[in-house]
Structure formats: C-alpha cells, structure tokens
Amino acid sequence: MAEPIIAIDGITKSFGAFKVLDKLSLQVMPGEKLALIGPSGSGKTTILRILMTLERIDSGHIRIEGEELYHMPKNGSLVAADERHLTRMRQKIGMVFQLFNLFPHMCVLDNVTLAPRLTKGTPREAAEKRAMDLLDMVGMSAKAKAMPAQLSGGQKQRVAIARALALSPKIMLFDEVTSALDPELVEEVLNVMRKLASETDMTMLLVTHEMGFAHDFADRVLFFDRGRIVEEGKPDEIFRNPKQERTQTFLRKIIAAGHRV
Amino acid sequence: MTDWSGYLSLILQGAVVTVQLTVMGSILALLMAFIAGLGRIAPFAVLRWLATAYIEFFRGTSIFVQLFFAYFVLPFAGFTLTPLQAGVLALGLNVGAYAAEVVRGAILSVGKEQYEACIALNLSRWQCMRRVILPQALLVMLPTFGNNAIELLKATSVVSLISLADMTFQANIVRSQTGNTLIPFATILALYFFFAMIIAFAMRALERRMARGLDGVRA
C-alpha cells in the first residue's frame, strides 16, 4: 500500500469567529486528481491556501510525503516550522491563482524563469530553454516577449500555469483558475489542464465551479460545506447519484445557474 | 551704470553650489528613504522602532535647526564638517525622512496577491521585495520623489545661513554691493525655477520609461 502524498489530519482554521475548516482530514495518493467543489465559504479554497503556506492552521497536522508541513522535529519534539523548513517543503508544491498573479513588470519569459533562477540557481540559458518548452506546452511560446498587460485572461492563466510548472512541483493546486475568465476563454485553459492531467503524474487539487470539467478531470470529487467534507466519491457517484441532501441541493443550484454537468 | 557681468558670474558660481547641494542631498535622501522606508516594514521591531524614530525626529524639527546642529554643535562632539558637508547632511536627512514614508506607502500599495505569488514560487522575502515588489513600487514613488527633490532644491537656500556661498547667498552679496534687489533676485528666481523644471521633466521622462509595457499597473 502506497503512502499518501498529502495527509491532512484534523486541521481547524478560523478567521475571527468564523470557522472555515472544522477538524478536517483528507488523504491524497500520489498522482491522484482531486476536484474540490462546494458553495463559497465552504473552506475548499482555504485548504489550497493552507497547503501553499499562504494561511496557517490553528490546530491539526499536515504531512507532505510523510513529512510535517507546519512542524519540524527539534531535540526530539515537534516544534513550529521555521522559514527554512517551509522553503524546503514548498518546493514540492505549486499553485495557480484565480487572478493569475503574474508579475506585471516582467515579460512572459521572465515571469516563468524568475523562480527557477532565484530559488534553484538554474543558469539563465537553461531556465529559458525549459521555460520555452513549458510555454510551448501551454501554447504561449509565441508571446514569450509580451508583457502580461498585453495578454487576454486566458493567455495570462496559461502563462501562470507554465510559471508554476517551471519549479517541477509534485503537487499542483488550482484555485478557481477559470472563474475570472470570459466564458469564451475558459476552454483554452481547461484544454491545457486536460493535457497536464493526461501527460504527467503530478498530484493535482482543483477547486472549481466547472462541474463538467471536474467530472472529466477528477479521480475523486470532494463536496465541501461549512468547513467539512460532506460527501466524496468517484465523479459519476457524486454528480449522477449524490447521497447527501446538501450535495443534491448544491448541484441543483449549480445546474440552474447554467453550469453543465 | 553698474557692470552686471561680474555680479552675474558670482551668482552663477552660487548656482553651481546649489546644484551640488541638490544632487548630493538627493542622493543621501534617496539612500535614507529606502533604508528607513524598508526599516518601517521590517520584520524586526528594533528596526521598525529605529526607522520611526529617525522619520519622526527629522520631520518634526526644523531643517534650519538641523543645519545649525550639524554645523555648529557637531564639532563639540568631535565631528567638524565643512559647510557643504553640513548642508548635504541636513538636507539629505531631512528630505530622506519625508521620502521614507513615500517608500513605505508605495511598497504597501502593491497588492497582497503579488506577495502570495512570491510565496507560491518559493522566493525568499528579500528576493520577493527586490525583484517583484520594489520594481512595481518604484513607479508609484517616482512622482512624489520628484516633489521631494524640488523641495530639497528650494531648501538648499538655508545653507546661506552657515555662510555657504550658494545662489541665495551670492544674490544677497550682490544686493548689498549694488543696492539693487530686483536684478539679483529675479535672476535666482529664474534659476530656481529652471532647475525645478529640469527635475520635473527628468522625473516625468523616467516615469514614462519605467511604465513602458506596464499598462496593468499604472498608465
């Protein structure tokens, strides 16, 4: 039996009085593609942000490849992780954001090469060669010298995916990556992600409102509500035959809002 | 009839001193602005405290007093400065305190999402600041830096009070020797304005250059 690549054990997270995650546990196997769905405020995005160390947890444990994310061993006991530990752990994880978060003062190529050059000391030439391969994969190599402001939303998001891939993470987190896009641009980003899912063995966690895509993409779908996983299963079980009432209600609303399943 | 050419060359000699003070004072001010501005948002309380103390002290006391302190009081502590050194020191530290708040404000104006992208790409705090945040913040700072530089230019006239022969000092000499106020002061008025214009144009050109391709941040 293989080890889970991500093991989340009873984590809790509150923003003020609002409990976003409530003793949540979750195990993800290497190479698994997960879709996280649910109403806004249900905690699904917070999970990704916690895994990327953008938010801290209040209690509980997270292990990545068997190693504690927010704790480290020191003199025989576990203490809070320092920046060096976090830096090492982050190498395993990459994230793509809803609003792309490209660096607006750098061209596309520099956006993609910056992190490998700074964090891994990759020489410029090698970093650019790899960046061009990645940009080619997302269909953006022709725009390598363009500035982010000159790109459409879909193009920006494809660059952001290439940028995250440049560090070769084992786990990729996608946070509503098509939510900010015009409808006609959604498909070009989804196509890139399909390609990624089929061509690599990366572990992927996807927060999305694109139910049709979640169905095709995911090995497992998790339905979140009020900081807990209410229901999980294979895409067909969740989408065709949800058992929990809250899942049914949510999916009905989504379909009524015009999202195809 | 007074022969004005000699007097005008006296004023031009003063103009050279004014330009020296402005350029050197601005360099010191810029340096202090970044040190204290970054200090204000540093992760260590000691640094934040030091930066705040510097800023509040130099903003809260008069540049005139600061200058006299640098020139007449520091010698008692064993630091004797030339009038030019004292002038650059007082001007640079004074304007640097104002500009430090500009640096801090500009850095804070860069969106949280840029910091988050840095974390997701595993950049260190310093790499993030240096490569991602500061280049964007600089563009926000430039217009106010232009203001600060012009303020500094105009403040240089206080150094005439420690007998440094800047433009204002020389105009006063000419005035007392010729009894004419209009010509020397109209001349330095025009020169101050001319220098201020150069600063304004230079800043605008720099801003345009840096904003190239950056339409998303600031047109």
| Structural domain includes residue B150 | yes
CA diameter of chain A = 57
Residue with tokens 């790899």: A130
- Please give the share of chain A, as a percent, with pLDDT higher than 70: 98
Q: Which residue of A has its CA nearest to B219?
A: A149
What mean pLDDT do residues A12-38 have?
Answer: 94
Record: contact B123-A94, CB cut-off 8 A = no
Record: contact B135-A87, CB cut-off 8 A = no
B212 has pLDDT over 90: no
A101 has pLDDT over 60: yes
B46 touches chain A (CB under 8 A): no
Instruction: State the Cα angle at A12 between A8 and A15, rounded to 5°.
Output: 135
Q: Which residue of B has its CA nearest to A87?
A: B122
**CB crowding B55-85: b at 16 or more within 10 Å, else e:** beebeeeebeebbbebbeebeeeeeebebbb
Smallest Cβ–Cβ distance between A53 and the set B119, B131, B213 belongs to: B119
| Of B104, B101, B136, B102, the residue nearest B117 (C-alpha) | B136
* pLDDT for the residue A258: 67
Which of A135-144, A188-197, A200-209, A252-261 has the lowest average pLDDT?
A252-261
Domains in chain A, please, with CATH? 6-257 (3.40.50.300)
B217 has pLDDT over 60: no
Q: Which residue of A has its CA nearest to B136?
A: A105
Record: contact A119-B216, CB cut-off 8 A = no
What mean pLDDT do residues B72-94 have?
Answer: 94
B1 has pLDDT over 80: no
> Which long-range contacts link A153-158 to residues 24+ away (Cβ below 8 Å)?
A153/A100, A153/A180, A153/A181, A153/A182, A153/A185, A154/A181, A154/A182, A154/A185, A154/A186, A154/A188, A154/A189, A155/A188, A156/A100, A156/A102, A157/A96, A157/A100, A157/A181, A157/A189, A158/A188, A158/A189, A158/A192
- Report the domain count for chain B: 1
CA distance B155 to chain A (A): 35
Asked if B130 and B107 count as a contact pair (C-beta separation under 8 A), the reply is: no
What mean pLDDT do residues A54-78 have?
Answer: 92
B126 touches chain A (CB under 8 A): no
| Structural domain includes residue B175 | yes
Which of A16-25, A74-83, A156-165, A200-209 has the lowest average pLDDT?
A74-83
Smallest Cβ–Cβ distance between B122 and the set A87, A149, A150 belongs to: A87
Task: Give A1's pLDDT tier (boundaries 50, 70, 90).
Answer: low
Domain that holds residue B164: 4-211
Record: contact A104-B127, CB cut-off 8 A = no
Classify A51 as helix, strand or coil. Answer: helix
* pLDDT for the residue B169: 95
B122 touches chain A (CB under 8 A): yes
Per-residue model confidence as pLDDT tens digits over A166-187: 999 999 999 999 999 998 899 9
Q: Which two tokens stand for residue B19?
A: 């330009």
* pLDDT for the residue B59: 94
B23 touches chain A (CB under 8 A): no
| Structural domain includes residue B181 | yes
The dihedral of CA B29, B30, B31, B35: what is its sign? positive
Asked if B11 and B187 count as a contact pair (C-beta separation under 8 A), the reply is: yes
| Of A40, A32, A77, A33, the residue nearest A227 (C-alpha) | A40
* pLDDT for the residue A222: 96
Asked if A132 and A144 count as a contact pair (C-beta separation under 8 A), the reply is: yes
* pLDDT for the residue B218: 42
Chain B residues inside the 8 Å CB shell of A54: 116, 119-120
- Please give the share of chain B, as a percent, with pLDDT higher than 70: 96
Record: contact A90-B119, CB cut-off 8 A = yes
| Structural domain includes residue B54 | yes
| Structural domain includes residue B218 | no
The DSSP bridge partners found for residue A61 are A9
Which of A32-36, A141-145, A254-258, B90-94 has the lowest average pLDDT?
A254-258
Record: contact A104-B131, CB cut-off 8 A = no
Say which CATH number the domain at B40 has: 1.10.3720.10
CA distance A106 to chain B (A): 9
Instruction: Count H helices and E strands in chain A, helices first.
Output: 9, 12
CA distance A231 to chain B (A): 29
Residues A241 and A237: their CA atoms lie apart, in Å, by: 5
Whether the complex's predicted ipTM surpasses the cut of 0.90: yes
Task: Give B14's pLDDT tier (boundaries 50, 70, 90).
Answer: very high
Chain A residues inside the 8 Å CB shell of B124: 87
| Structural domain includes residue B216 | no
B43 touches chain A (CB under 8 A): no
> Which long-range contacts link A152-156 to residues 24+ away (Cβ below 8 Å)?
A152/A182, A152/A185, A153/A100, A153/A180, A153/A181, A153/A182, A153/A185, A154/A181, A154/A182, A154/A185, A154/A186, A154/A188, A154/A189, A155/A188, A156/A100, A156/A102
For residues A67, A69, A71 and A74, what is the CA-based torsion angle, rounded to 10 degrees? 50
CA distance B219 to chain A (A): 11
B127 touches chain A (CB under 8 A): yes
B132 touches chain A (CB under 8 A): yes
Record: contact A105-B214, CB cut-off 8 A = yes
Chain B residues inside the 8 Å CB shell of A107: 213
Asked if A70 and A12 count as a contact pair (C-beta separation under 8 A), the reply is: no
B114 touches chain A (CB under 8 A): yes
Q: Which residues contact B28 (CB under 8 A, 6 or more apart)?
A: B88, B89, B91, B92, B93, B96
Smallest Cβ–Cβ distance between B136 and the set A91, A97, A104 belongs to: A104
B216 touches chain A (CB under 8 A): yes
The dihedral of CA A166, A170, A176, A178: what is its sign? positive
| Structural domain includes residue B198 | yes
* pLDDT for the residue A164: 97
B217 touches chain A (CB under 8 A): yes
What mean pLDDT do residues A224-237 have?
Answer: 94
* pLDDT for the residue B215: 59
| Structural domain includes residue B219 | no
When the pLDDT of each residue in chain A is averaged and rounded to a whole number, the result is 93
CA distance B110 to chain A (A): 11
Residue with tokens 């954001």: A97
B216 has pLDDT over 80: no
Q: Which residue of A has its CA nearest to B212?
A: A105
Give, in order, the Cα–Cα distances in Å from B9 to each of A168, B12, B190: 67, 5, 15
